[in-house]
Structures are given as structure tokens and as C-alpha cells.
Amino acid sequence: MGPWKARRRRAAYSRLIAKVSEHDVIWAAEEIVGTAWMAGLVDAERQAASRRASGRVRDRHEGLRRFAERERAAWEQAEWMRTLEVLADRDLLAEAARTAGVQEGLTHEHR
């Protein structure tokens, strides 16, 4: 057996021992502090992971939110431009005023 094979085997044993000892440490901690406390700790870790995941979702949707804001601003600008066009077209404005029931004396036709 070559030296690299022996090192790989020792590394595998070391990883296995670390996993087993980690498992034993968890069991010992549960015996000391109680399973309810450990369950609370596990639950807190899950909640923290959930918050991190929701943060990533928020980050992904940030671009969508910015797009919606730009579109909303574009629609508002277009609506403003249409309003200005209507105001510039005096005949259309007079017709809109008549439709709305504004007195005839207030339109440009009778000034």
C-alpha cells in the first residue's frame, strides 16, 4: 500500500471519527440541558435558515419590484402627457366640459 493510500484511509477514518464524536457530543448535550432545550435550538436554527431563504427570495424579486415601479412611472407619465394633449386640444376640452355639465360660459367658445 502506497503512502497516499494510507493518508486517504487515515483521512477517511478521521472524518468518520469526527462525525461520530459530533453525534456523541450532541447526545451528551441533550442529556445535560434536556431535549426540550435542544429541540428549541434546532427550531431556532430552522427559523434562521427560513429567514435567510426569504431574504434570498426578496433579493430575487427586487428586480421585479424595480421593473414594476418603472412601468408605473411610465404609465403615469403617459397619462400626464394625454392630459396635456387634451388640454391643448381646445375643441376636445370644450366637448369634455359639455359632457361634464360645465356651464357654456366657462369654455373657450364663448369668451
pLDDT of 45-103, one tens digit each? 888 877 777 776 666 677 777 877 888 888 888 888 887 776 777 777 777 778 887 66
Residue 91 is predicted with a pLDDT of 79
Which conformational region is residue 89 in: left (phi greater than 0), alpha (psi within -120 to 50 degrees), or beta? beta
pLDDT of residue 66: 81
Q: Identify the pLDDT of residue 85.
A: 78
**Cell digits of residue 88:** 391643448
Q: Is 98 helix (H, G, I), strand (E, B) or coil?
A: helix
95: its cell numbers: 366637448
How confident is the model at residue 103, as a pLDDT? 61
SS3 for 61-78, per residue? HHHHHHHHHHHHHHHHHH
